[in-house]
Structure 1
Amino acid sequence: MAASISVLAASGALAQDAAVVQDGTAAQDGSAQVEDIVVIGSRIRRDNYNAPSPTQVVTREEATLQGFASITEALQSTAVTGGTSQINNAYGGYVTDGGPGANTIGLRGMSPSRTLVLLNGRRVSPAGSRGSVGAADLNVLPTAMIDRVEVLRDGASSVYGSDAVAGVVNIQTRQNFEGLVFEGQRNEPLEANGAGGSTRLSLTAGVRGDRWRAAGSIERYERDELTLRDREFTRCQTDGFRNGQDYIDPLTGQSKCYPVTTTGSNGVTINTIATGATTGVAAPGATGTTFNRWRPNSAVTTGLVGFEGVGGPGNDLNVRDTFEDRMLNESLISPVEITTLYGEAGYQLNALGNAEIYGEALFNQRKSSQTGYRQLALDYAVGSPLIPANLQGSVAFGDQGLNQGQDVGVRAFIGYGNDHSEQEVDFGRYVAGIKGDFFVPEWRYDAYVSYSRSKSTYTSEQFLTDNLIASLDVVSDGAGGFQCAALASNPGCVAAPALTTQTIGGVLPQDWKDYVFRPVTGTTEFIEKVASIGIDGPLFSLPAGRVMGFFGAEWRESEIDDTPGLDSQLGNTYNYSTSAITRGSDSVKEVFGEIEAPLLVDLPGVRELTLNGSARYTDYDSYGDDTTYKVGLVYRPIDWITVRGTYGTSYRAPALFEQFVGATSGFQSNSIDRCNDYGAPGVNPNRVANCASEGLAGDFQSTNSVRVITAGGAEAGLSAETSTNMTLGLVVRPPMPSSWGDLAFAVDYYEIEVENGVSRTGAGEILTRCYDSNPEDFAADAGFCRLVSRDPADNSLTVSDSYVNLATDNVKGLDYTVRYRKDVGPGTALLNLAITQYTEISNKLFEEDPLVDYTGMVNNPEFTGTADVSYAWDQWRVRYGVEWIQGTDSYAYYEEDPVTSDYDLAVDDYWLHNASVQYSADGWTATLGVRNLFNENPPTISAGVYNRVGNAPLYSGYDYLGRTAFVNLTKSF
């Protein structure tokens, strides 16, 4: 079967070869017989791609020529995402949906939860670890068996159901595949001595009989770790301020390094102790004679002997140590090992309407890990025998949780060293179905059931609070050392090390580390079941042609069960968030239909006018029913001009974690306490009255972190997001003499507006709206104040921040695509150009808020583009490609003057060049090339505003690997 792929895409590959047979090989003369096909964005079989919605097609050959070692890399590329930042392997140290190691895709400037991923037209269920599993993990896809990727850049909930808000990605496997193919690829970063490189090996096989077919693949993908040490721009994260405003380290004379932090300076201090105010010797860069923070210095013989002062009244925090070599072992790109098995089969029954029974099976295992760095704030109680004599009189603070109610005499800020997190995710997806001719002539039916299960274990190394407490309560062991006071009842207890210069410097006894620093393991299971049936065929005839219809019904049930490690559930992980069990389920019943009607054809001024309409009725157990619709129109006034457009509604059902995530507590800086210094001039009078009513002084300064509890919104009646989508497009294929070649151009305008967006308000916003509210509401714990409580003993705050329907998100923009093909000499030259322009990326949290437009700000470029030129002759093909991200700046948003500001909040245009050559002969193909040909490093920005990777913005559009060579070898048998 062949499919005419002459559609203009929204971006990327505007048009593929004139005809493509089902196994993905090009017809030589373009004259292959065209049969009915199903196009992404529609359920109706048609004989062309002349659909009302913009569609992009990426073939496996194009992905190979661009040097992508996996389908994940291809889908997250600028050509597909249009500049939208994606969750990739640089996010291993961040809290992300799906957990560390998961890779997701979001289109049109929106989150992954608003993009639906399909495999052969059927949903790919979420996979990952921890409680926030809610989107498909691209790692599970069978790269070896993929023929092409179809990307619909339009809302399509009426066709596919929930989540198809910003678009749909359909991964199509090779059909009717026969033979045996071995493929191997290696990507080798040249600037990092191979660190961060990847290898993929696969074997694909297929056989056919008179009534049956079977095909499958097995593949292994491994990516090596890239650490902060491996790239120059991550070895020393500095302030990056302009006008000479970086803090200069007095020990080096250079800008100070802060490799632990991600957004700013004042990095986590190490090799330091905290004491009560004491007279002593100032360290280089420190001022005064009285200090409460100290760094070991054996040369100091007066004041606090053996220590120099690095902190106290009037001293800059940056004087303290913030860097040691082990910090450079942190993962920049985390390592992963992925094994994937995929199989599909079909058997002709010669019954039930010439039916075929078919099945698919996909098994995927991902083993990912991350290396981090931990600081340990170890508290020695007043009078502890572990404190040396010259520090015995110190009282640093009240009990901070490790000393059983006793005051802290000395706190040691220790650079503990590297910690490791690991995830193992086993994903299975199984499909069984039957399709054939319906009893009504020319109608067909397709019914299937599927079962998907993601089962993961995730482990992180944590300090256990109870073991730390036991280890710090010591008595003499009678031999010059110490033992735990509770050793008789806790025989495994290991006494904490005495407070020495080595201890402060992170040289710690291994047996004590093994006792207090333990792996904590949780499990996550996500199950999705689907049963679906559909029928399609001609309804009746109009003068312009037949009206085609599709009608179907579907049932889906999903359930999640995330059980964190017991220590995490009990809050026994020191200075780390606690997590409760996430457990819940939801199910939905849907009926839907689609009709396509040719209204006019072959009339003056109307070569074609076709109407497409779809609707879906949805009934969820969680929130009730909903209806969505979509209307599309294709108008061709003359053969070489097509006008297309759609308008419709979409929705996104709340993810299970948004409904049921267990109460998880974390901590934010004490700086977000709105009562800090509330007596200063110009403060909101409501805030003044409300803070005073809690008995706080006007110059109050919080010294406690703000505890933030996150929970699911099911009990609060969380409902679905609703949205409207509109696209308008123009496709032009001007007729030209054959010697001029073939030219095609498309432009598409799009608008998406999401209402009732599922979001969390944010602790800072809750505190602002509470403390600035009417004092009567504050006193009554009304409005947002019901989410805030202050402990009368220590004035610490607790904020409840659950998922609610709040946000409004708008995205508007245009896609421009040009494709030109011309025979030149012995071969054919092909030019592709695609540009995405965002004219608005705005959102607001509350109805009364103004919309804030982020277009053109850092990580939200207005323009991105890709271009490539290739030349194919005989058995050769060469390609040169360019990816472009327009420069951005955030000065206006932060009300900074770009001329005088000390912050660097702008990045220049970013260009990536790629080149490759391919040779095919006698059943084998070799492809060699280089990505990031000119070794373009990511741009840099200042600290303190955006998350950074070293000195660069954390943004998936930038290449962190540097110049990378790749080779792909394919052999067919």
Structure 2
Amino acid sequence: MQYQKSFLMAGSALALTMSGAPALADADQTQATNVEDVVVVGSRIRRDVYNSPSPVQVVTREDATLQGYASTAEVLQGTAITGGATQTDNSRAGFTVNGGAGVNTIGLRGMSPTRTLVLLNGRRVSPAGTRGSVGAADLNVLPSAMIERVEVLRDGASSVYGSDAVAGVINLQTRKNFEGLSVEATANVPMDADGAGMSSRLSIVGGLRGANWRLSGAADYFERNEMTLRDRDFTLCNRLMQRNPQTGASLDYIDPNTGKAKCFPTNGSGASINLIGTGTRTGVGAPGAVGTQFNRWRPNSAVDTGFVGWEGVGGTGVNLDVRDSFDDRMLNRSLISPTKTLNLYAEGGYGLNALGDAELYLETMYSRRESYQTGTRQFNPDYAVGSPLLPNSLSWSRYGADEGMSKGKDVAVKAFTLEQNTAHQTVDFQRHVVGLKGDITSLDGWRYDAYLSFARSDAEYRQPQYLKSRLSEALDVVVGPDGRFVCRELAKNPGCVAAPALSADLLKGKVPADFFAYVSPVHIGKTKYEETVLAAGFDGPLWTLPAGQVMAYFGAEYRHASLLDTPSEASRASDILNYTSAGITKGDDSVIEAFGEIDVPLLKDLPMIQDLNLTASYRYTDYDSYGDDTTYKLGLFWKTNDWLNFRASYGTSYRAPALYEQYVGDTSSFGNALLDPCNNFESKDAYIKANCASEGLAPGFTQKGSITVIQRGGAATGLSAETSSNLSLGAVFTPRLKQGWGDLAVAVDYYEIEVNNGVSRLGSANIMNDCYASTPDEFKARTGLCRLISRDPQTGHLRVIDSYVNIATDVVKGWDYNLRYRNDVGPGQVALNVAVSYTPTQEQMLFDDEPAINSAGDIGSPRYSGTADLAYSVDDWLVRWGTEWVGEMSGYERRKLDPATSIYNLRTPNYFLHHLSAQVRAHEWTATVGVRNVFNVNPPEISATSWYSVFGNAPLVSSYDFAGRTAFIKLSRTF
């Protein structure tokens, strides 16, 4: 019965969390008799019995297959590992993320990815990605075909593994001693999207062995199709979803043109399009507009009085929602980013029959990712006073002063139109390891392992961007000899293409191709990240106590990392319209570390003490950038008897800021004016209303200028290294049930992480929204995030400082609960695994003199989450039912809003996903088929506000399923 073994393995995976017994995947079990000791993440000491004082979770290759995951990234970002906390994945298309678009990262315990260390075979996976903020491992580079199991340490381990292991460690183990050939093909097909979002994978794994050598490798190709907003019903129309708190009636703006609630493209009211901005004059208002004085107009050929051919959609007292803000092309925006990845991996070893029966080993990998995201952007050219590109009917208009496109002349008309845009990324990643390991012949039982590794990420990012300099030339035209417009400075700029005359077609986005190619060339940036590691370690027994051998490990490590990001020349020169300017990011850092670990068996075979083990580790760290510090960790494992164990650990961490946190190039960006919390503040909640009024803003205020956002690396502003502590307490209960009742195990773990001087960039939208949602007294005192905001008293223009800063304190507290049950039922075996996470505290105290803000339960940070697996196997057949649960979330507490009086719906209900799969083995074949999201559950919906990113009205929470019901199949054949 092959699946009896498979189920035992699934049980062992959870048993590791419960009892500390090592879990070996099938491929490893075949060699278990040849391996005296094992190492599981959380310790560098090898031993034949592993009693871990820290909670460790293992996900085997078999588990991932039965769950229908399309990639290792999806396995790691699943609810079972992340606890439902939002991660950066392929649904982040079009959003600015560290590591650049298309990157996939993971952060444990709801913390940032820079606080979670990712290892491959116990060695660091260095960062990869695009743009200046590369600082975490990109899960796309992992060789999925070779991954045998994933080990997750849910505990701080900086003293064992070094910096970044603050919230936990993820170690991916590859197949060892593989012989033969295996071919696998998988496909995941969303069933309601006509091929959109479909993913496929083809992989080949092979291996050979000789008397004193081994060599194995894999080639893996993965491709995911794009899924757009058009492909899912719930993303077709983003509504405000506001309500009357007394009656519950909808407050959504009803579009007079459709008679239905208005659709918007982004959070809040989105960007205005298909209109022009002018000086104020009398005219005919569009349906829904009030008054007769307007400064924003939409084409309407039916208007034959006032401003003929145009209807007013903006001015004093006019609701912004009267304007157009939605275009069908917006539905072409990527919901799930398409990607192609090629991964090549090889590892091998050669026995030297010398140097303590040493083995010379190597590991090499190469990965190439190609990804892109489809989006839309606003194009708003300025037509100068007197421009021949304007019709005579607009000769009266004076919009404002030159904003960089009208060569010093006043602007007569600003056009607002829409254009579709696509961003591309290519990331080439390589990692090479060569090492030597063997016995120390002069010390019985001692071994050594030394290695040198080099990793490099070379990335390129490309995107068409409007150049202000070229727009300035293209908009400055004269009439040529043939009666057509030509650039005035054509002699100086022979390639210049004249801008089109202002027209209704232009406002609808119909831009001449030659003009677009001239003013919006493709801009290319390049990012390079390199990391070199030289490490050596020794482990073995120190002496023997009555309770057993004292084991130890001693080691040293040198690491050097460098980051160089070179944006396009136009970006560095601030020559891009409505887009960030970015300087070169360049920096490097080195660290030398010495560390040790000891495992002491204190007591054994005493009443209430079957085993009592103490573990301790210590590390000295010296960074070039931030000096030196020490970290330590103490752990205790107490086995009272055969059915009750206790475990506890306490440790400290020291993390120098990542290179991008220190050196990211000075960046000035321009936020959408519609994100100003004071726009139409009279219709908003009481605190926002009071705070905006206190700045002297008039009712109906509308921000007319872009919001200036200043970002820079923290090295220039005195950024400090962060320190942290991590406490973990747990108990494991494995009662002896009556014969025939099966096996039961229950584990409970409590954890507490406190980070001091935590490094973070809060985001301009968060800074603005949290500031204006604070109490009037807090706002007046300019405490908290309000310290980072200033408003020009004359123009109302906003300026936000959003650099990397040290946050006073970050605290995360929570509980993990695990249950496993197995029993023989009928001709087969049933197995049940249940895991629940509870995170009541996720506090952030920004400044020492202010109270902590608890984000636990906020949208994107659920207090409760869980998974459950029920499987039954008979001979070569297996059937599995899996459930994922993300608890209800609410934005009211975090935003200091009363749900009884707020106009927003900011609560999501409990969310359940169900999955079904079946597997059969026949000779050398294995087939797995199934369906994820069996009941086709859509993500819950909330009000569209600038507080939360949404697709449709679904909050961008990575544990929600955006693809819908998905069928999957995996076929494998071994030779």
Among 245, 249, 259, the residue aligned to 1:253: 259
Q: How does 1:85-100 map to 2 (within 5 A)?
A: 85-100=86-101
| Match of residue 464 from structure 1 | 467
Please state how far the C-alpha of 1:300 moved relative to its aligned partner: 1.5
Contact 1:140 1:427 (C-alpha < 8 Å) held by counterparts: yes
How far residue 64 of structure 1 moved from its aligned partner, in angstroms, is: 0.3
2:530 matched residue in structure 1: 527
Pair 784,900 (structure 1): closer, same or farther in 2 beyond 3 Å: closer
Could you list the per-position Cα deviations for residues 855-914 of structure 1 after superposition, in whole angstroms to 9, with x for gaps in the alignment?
222222111010011111111111000001111222233343334432111111111000
Deviation at 1:675, TM superposition (A): 11
- Give the corresponding residue for 1:111: 112
Which residue of the other structure, out of 365, 369, 374, is the alignment partner of 2:372? 369
What SS is found at the alignment partner of 1:470?
Answer: helix
1:934 aligns with 2:935: yes
In structure 1, the residue matched to 2:845 is 844
CA contact (8 A) 1:12 1:832 kept: no
Displacement of 1:737 in angstroms is: 3.0
Distance 1:139-1:396 versus aligned 2 partners, 3 A rule = same
- Does residue 390 (structure 1) correspond to residue 393 (structure 2)? The answer is yes
Q: Structure 1 pair 7/930, CA: closer, same or farther in 2 (3 Å)?
A: closer
- The whole-number CA distance in structure 2 between the counterparts of 1:44 and 1:125 is 23
- What is the CA-CA distance between 1:372 and the residue it aligns to? 0.4
User: Closer, same or farther in 2 for the Cα pair 1:375/1:844, shift >3 Å?
Assistant: same
Match of residue 140 from structure 1 = 141
Gaps (5+ residues) in structure 2? Answer: 244-248, 775-779
Structure 1 distance, partners of 2:25, 2:524, is 48
Hey, what does 1:972 align to over in structure 2?
974
Greater mean alpha carbon deviation, residues 792-801 or residues 267-276: 792-801
| Residue equivalent to 1:75 | 76
In structure 1, C-alpha distance between the alignment counterparts of 2:375 and 2:677, rounded to whole Å: 32
Shift of 1:10: 7.8
Q: Which one is further off, 669-678 or 655-664?
A: 669-678
How far the C-alpha of 1:788 sits from its partner, in A, is: 8.1
Residue pair 2:271, 2:674 contacting (<8 A) in 1 also:
no
Alpha-carbon distance between aligned partners in 2 of 1:463 and 1:24, rounded to the nearest angstrom: 55
Contact 2:13 2:23 in 1 (8 A): no
705-714 or 781-790: bigger deviation: 781-790
Counterpart in 2 of 1:512? Answer: 515
Query: Aligned residue for 2:758?
Result: 757
Aligned residue in 2 for 1:909: 910
Tell me the amino acid that sits aligned with residue 470 of structure 1.
E
What pairs with 1:633-652 in structure 2 (closer than 5 Å)?
633-652=636-655
Query: Is it true that 1:23 corresponds to 2:24 in the alignment?
Result: no
CA distance in 2, matches of 1:671, 1:67: 41
Aligned match of 1:214: 215
Whether the 8 Å CA contact 2:853–2:894 is kept in 1: the answer is no
What is residue 324 of structure 1 aligned with on the other side? 327
Q: How does 1:32-47 map to 2 (within 5 A)?
A: 35-47=36-48
**How do 1:844-883 and structure 2 match up within 5 A?**
844-883=845-884
Post-superposition Cα deviations, 1:789-812, rounded to whole Å, max 9, x if no partner, equal 989997856555432322411111
User: Which of 240-249 and 885-894 deviates more?
Assistant: 885-894
- Please give the root-mean-square deviation of Cα atoms over the aligned residues, in Å: 3.1
User: What residue is the counterpart of 1:775 in the other structure?
Assistant: none
TM-score, normalised on structure 2? 0.93
Letter in 1 for 2:483: G
Cα distance in 1 between the residues matched to 2:16 and 2:638: 24
Instruction: Note the C-alpha offset of 1:13.
Output: 7.7
Tell me the equivalent position of 2:237.
236
Partner of 1:164: 165
Tell me the SS of whatever aligns to 1:935: coil
Q: Partner letter of residue 952 of structure 1?
A: A
- Say whether the 8 Å CA contact 2:19–2:51 is kept in structure 1: no
Residue identity matched to 2:621: T
Partners in 2 of 1:374 and 1:54 — Cα distance?
A: 47
Residues 520 and 363 of structure 1: CA distance in aligned 2, closer, same or farther (over 3 Å)? same
User: For the structure 1 residues 11 and 368, does the alpha-carbon distance in structure 2 shift closer, same or farther, using more than 3 Å as the test?
Assistant: farther
Letter matched to residue 95 of structure 2: Y
**Shift of residue 653 of structure 1?**
1.8
Aligned partners of 2:687, 2:334: CA distance in 1, in Å?
43
8 Å CA contact 1:117, 1:170 repeated in 2: yes
> Which deviates further from its counterpart, 425-434 or 292-301?
292-301
Q: Look up the match of 1:664.
A: 667
SS across alignment from 1:436? strand
The code of the aligned residue for 2:743 comes to D
Task: State how 1:337-356 maps to structure 2 within 5 Å.
Answer: 337-356=340-359
- Distance change (3 Å), C-alpha of 1:55 and 1:813: same
- Tell me what 2:625 maps to: 622
Q: What SS class does the counterpart of residue 961 from structure 1 fall into?
A: coil
Alignment match of 1:422 (pick from 404, 421, 424):
424
Q: Assess, with a 3 A threshold, how the Cα gap between structure 1 residues 13 and 74 changes in structure 2: closer, same or farther.
A: farther
Is residue 22–residue 174 contact of structure 1 (8 Å, CA) maintained in 2? no
Identify the residue that residue 777 of structure 2 maps to in structure 1.
none
SS at match of 2:473: helix
CA distance in 1 between partners of 2:18 and 2:930 (Å): 23
Separation (CA, whole Å) in 1 of partners of 2:16 and 2:866: 9
Secondary structure class of the residue paired with 1:463: coil
Residue 179 of structure 1 aligns with which residue?
Answer: 180
Aligned to 1:584: 587
Contact in 2 for aligned 1:8/1:745 (Cα 8 Å): no
3-state SS of 2:417 partner: strand
Residues 192, 535 of structure 1: CA spacing in aligned structure 2 closer, same or farther, 3 A cutoff?
Answer: same
Q: Work out the number of aligned pairs and report it.
A: 949
Is the 2:316–2:700 Cα contact (8 Å) retained in structure 1? no
What amino acid does structure 2 have at the position aligned with 1:332?
Answer: L
1:947 alignment counterpart:
949
2:19, 2:642 → 1: CA distance?
A: 17
State the SS of the aligned residue for 1:704. Answer: coil
**SS of 2:834 mapped into structure 1:** strand
**In the TM superposition, what whole-angstrom CA distance separates every residue of 1:700-721 from its partner, at most 9, and x where no partner exists?**
9864333222111223342321
Q: Retained in 2: the 8 A contact 1:868–1:879?
A: yes
Judging changes above 3 Å, is the alpha-carbon distance between structure 1 residues 659 and 310 closer, same or farther for their aligned structure 2 residues? same
Give deviations 1:812-866, integer Å, cap 9, x for gaps: 1110001111111221111000000112111121111211112222222111010
Cα distance, 1:499–1:790 mapped onto 2, change above 3 Å: same
Contact 1:199 1:222 in 2 (8 A): yes
Identity %: 55
CA-to-aligned-CA distance 1:225-253 (integer Å, 9 cap, x gap): 00000001111111112321001100000
Q: Which moved more, 1:407-416 or 1:796-805?
A: 796-805
Cα deviation, 1:148-201, whole Å, max 9, x if unaligned, reads 000000000000000000000000000111010000000000011121010000
Cα separation, 2, equivalents of 1:927 and 1:621: 51
Specify the code of the residue in structure 2 equivalent to 1:327.
Answer: M
Please give the TM-score of this superposition, normalised by the length of structure 1. Answer: 0.93
Q: Secondary structure at the match of 2:892?
A: coil
Return closer, same or farther for 1:501/1:6 CA change in 2, 3 Å cut-off: closer
Aligned to 2:919: 918
Q: 1:344 & 1:805 partners in 2: Cα distance?
A: 41
Where 2:570 maps in the other structure, the secondary structure is: helix
Whole-angstrom distance in 2 between the partners of 1:555 and 1:846: 35
Q: Amino acid of the residue matched to residue 102 of structure 1?
A: V
Q: 1:702 to 1:19 in 2, by over 3 A?
A: closer
- Residue 476 of structure 2: which of 473, 477, 489 is its match? 473
Residue in 2 that maps onto 1:488: 491
Q: Where do 5+ consecutive residues of structure 1 fail to align?
A: 773-777
Matched ranges for 1:726-765 at <5 A: 726-760=727-761
* Deviation by residue 1:903-940 (Cα, 9 ceiling, x = unmatched): 11111111100000000011110000000000000000
CA distance in 2, matches of 1:701, 1:82: 41
User: Which digits, 9 at most, give the CA deviation of each residue in 1:9-35, with x for residues without a partner?
Assistant: 7899868999746724579xxx96873
Mean Cα displacement is larger for which, 427-436 or 864-873?
864-873
Q: Is the 8 A contact 1:623 1:717 kept in 2?
A: no
2:254 counterpart letter in structure 1: I
CA contact (8 A) 1:808 1:845 kept: yes
C-alpha distance in 2 between matches for 1:47 and 1:783: 53
